[in-house]
Amino acid sequence: MSPADEKIDVKDTKEMLIAVNELSIFLIGRLKDGIGMDDAMAAFAKMQSDEEFKNIMGNAIKGIGNIPKEISDIDIAEGFELAKVQIDYIPKILGAIK
């Protein structure tokens, strides 16, 4: 198989999807009382103190340039893989809204 024919996975796209969901859950919790400067400071503090959150965001940002190539090469199995990631976040997002 030539390099041009190699299958590209959706690793970086998946990492970005996870990061967007994690950031959304954090923001939902913070913005329930409205938006303020304290929310920006809380996001900065979370990036500094929460190693897991920092790693999730860092991995997503590191691979952001690969996402267009991954999406252009997506197949049905990868589409389902990404859909499962999103579906798994629904209860977490709903929990953050409550």
The pLDDT tens digits of the residues spanning 42-96 come to 988 998 999 999 999 999 999 999 999 999 999 999 999 999 999 999 999 999 9
Q: Which pLDDT belongs to residue 16?
A: 97
pLDDT band at 1 (very low <50, low <70, confident <90, very high): very low
4 located within any domain: no
Counted domains in the chain = 1
57 close to 47: Cβ distance less than 8 angstroms: yes
Residue range(s) defining the domain that contains residue 45: 9-97
Pick from 49, 68, 54, 65: nearest CA to 22: 54
The DSSP secondary-structure symbol of 8 reads: P
pLDDT > 90? residue 15: yes
Q: Please check the confidence at residue 4 and state whether its pLDDT lies above 70.
A: no
Q: Give a yes or no: residue 1 inside a domain.
A: no
* In a domain? residue 32: yes
Calpha distance 36→27 (Å, rounded): 12
Report the greatest alpha carbon distance in the chain. Answer: 55
What pLDDT, on the 0 to 100 scale, is given for residue 59? Answer: 95
pTM reported for the whole predicted model: 0.86
Query: By the 8 A CB rule, do 39 and 77 touch?
Result: no
The candidate with the shortest Cα–Cα distance to 57, out of 43, 69, 73, is: 43
- Assigned domain for 13 exists: yes
Residue 21: alpha-carbon gap to chain centroid: 5
